Structure 1
Amino acid sequence: MPFGNIGIGGLVLILIIALIIFGPSKLPELGRAFGRTLSEFKNGTKELLGDSDSKERLDDHTKKEPVQNAAEQKQA
């Protein structure tokens, strides 16, 4: 469970407190902002974890590119 020992009752209490503090009109906006933040965080961690793979692919691409350009120049 991502929230540790917080149960259903704890989540309901948190939602009620948020409703009192922010009001019903702000909650959807806050939810969207929280969702965007989580998705950006996930994308950032994926980029960090996959960064070494992308660097290797970039190095391979840059090594092959001059050869391809030279072959294209000979054809022209």
Structure 2
Amino acid sequence: MTSTVTPADTRSTQPEFNKLSIVGFVLAFFISIAGLIVGIVALAQIRQRGERGKGLAVAAIVLSVLQIIGSSIWLVVRLQS
């Protein structure tokens, strides 16, 4: 007698995707300080809960920091001229 494996038996459950990492990534393009804060919170939640979305959270933090630095440089240059 042979045993057949159904697709339902082989399906592995992946951890849930952290929604704050998505929100932080989107906010990083529009409101950089909010994107930075939400990205940091999302990264902490991902580490605690073992969720997915670490790449988006890191991207939100990096984009936010770069945008804040770029805006600061632009403001200093603009005010000096």
When you count helix as a share of all residues, which structure comes out higher? 1
TM-score (ref. length: structure 2) = 0.39
Q: Which has the higher contact order (CA 8 A, sep 6+)?
A: 2
